[in-house]
Amino acid sequence: MKALCFDHFGGPEVLYYGDVPTPVCKPGEIMVEMKAIGLNFADVYRRKGNYHLKGTPPFIAGYEGAGVIVNANGSDVYKIGDRVAFADVPFANAELVKVPENHIIPLPDYISFDTAAALLLQGLTAHYLATDSHSVKENETVLIHAAAGGVGQLLTQICKLKGAKVIGLTSTIEKTEIAKKTGCNDVVLYTEDWKTKILSLTNGKGADVAYDSVGSTLQDSFAATRDTGHVVFYGMSGGDPAPVDPRMLMDTSKTLTGGDLWSYLTSKEERIKRSAQLFEWINSGAIKLDEPARFKLSEGAKAHQYLESRKSTGKILLIP
């Protein structure tokens, strides 16, 4: 079968589209023919060597996608032809992926392959951020980094559903318009003195919670958050954060929470329950997705370049 591979760590140029052995399903695993694959910054981190990868080269990144079961492997629940998706299965950047049955997420008829691949990983991330890392409450002020990005847009919409006021941070005027369209009450540019601007927007107090996916901005997020406020750190698109001084946390009564989706997708029931909530919101129109950017799986290097250019504002899909 064909897959998007890399043999050593580096820039997008290390990626190539080549032949790899077809995976063999063990008991409890199901073979899925991929129809759409989600690209995420985690794939960039893996390509660069920032995240651990199992096995030996050729490496295959990707953890999210949707497709059709082509080998149910004796399952009592699923059959050949079922439309399914997953958000936490390795080696997804391939034509065929073996998926543990407990990681399978059934797709309702009204959810397309593209929608599932564009929604699940980022949507499940936004879901745990707004419900578990910090339970967003009505009338809270929420600061969201990269508000025009995939997680940012979904997190904004979920926070608005919960009755919060959202201040978004973006890097360009174009992204500002996207963040406003998504539901941000106010949008501030990174090129501005954004800490001062956010304090002004909150009458000098700061946000109740800041969701920081940039990493290098973590200290600034604390500065823009009120005393007794909360900072949730869940990504490093801008580089590693500086160490946090515990004395600062004590003096301001602020809290820091780390966020990682894999800590919450711990069972079949959790995966299906959280996904079902997202599907319901999509079906009702409570949350909306921008049209994703599509690249052929064979054009994976171009897709990675586009993601790292920070020009993307929504999801990027790889199509086998």
How many whole angstroms separate alpha carbon 45 and alpha carbon 313? 19
Confidence check: pLDDT of 53 > 90: no
pLDDT of residue 313: 67
Strand-pairing partners, residue 175, are: none
Instruction: Please write the tens of the pLDDT for every residue from 275-302.
Output: 999 999 999 999 999 889 999 999 999 9
Q: How large a percentage of the chain has pLDDT more than 70?
A: 99
**40 in the same domain as 17:** yes
User: Which domain covers residue 10, as residue numbers?
Assistant: 2-120+265-319
Q: What is the CATH number of the domain that holds 154?
A: 3.40.50.720
Domain count, the chain: 2
Strand-pairing partners, residue 4, are: 17
Q: What is the CATH number of the domain that holds 35?
A: 3.90.180.10
Instruction: Please write the tens of the pLDDT for every residue from 152-168.
Output: 999 999 999 999 999 99
Of 302 and 309, which is predicted with more confidence?
A: 302
Question: Which residue is associated with the tokens 């029931």?
Answer: 269
**162 in the same domain as 241:** yes
Residue 243's contacts (CB-CB under 8 Å, 6 or more residues apart) are: none
Backbone φ and ψ of 70, nearest 5°: -115, -10
Domain end marker among 240, 258, 276: 258
pLDDT of residue 274: 97
* Residue 128 placed within a domain: no
Q: Which long-range contacts (CB under 8 A, 24 or more apart) does 198-206 make?
A: 198/143, 198/167, 198/224, 199/224, 201/167, 202/141, 202/167, 202/226
Q: Decide if 156 contacts 147 (C-beta within 8 A).
A: yes
2-5 vs 16-19, strand pairing mode? antiparallel
* Residue 14 placed within a domain: yes
Instruction: Please write the tens of the pLDDT for every residue from 169-204.
Output: 999 999 999 999 999 999 999 999 999 999 999 999
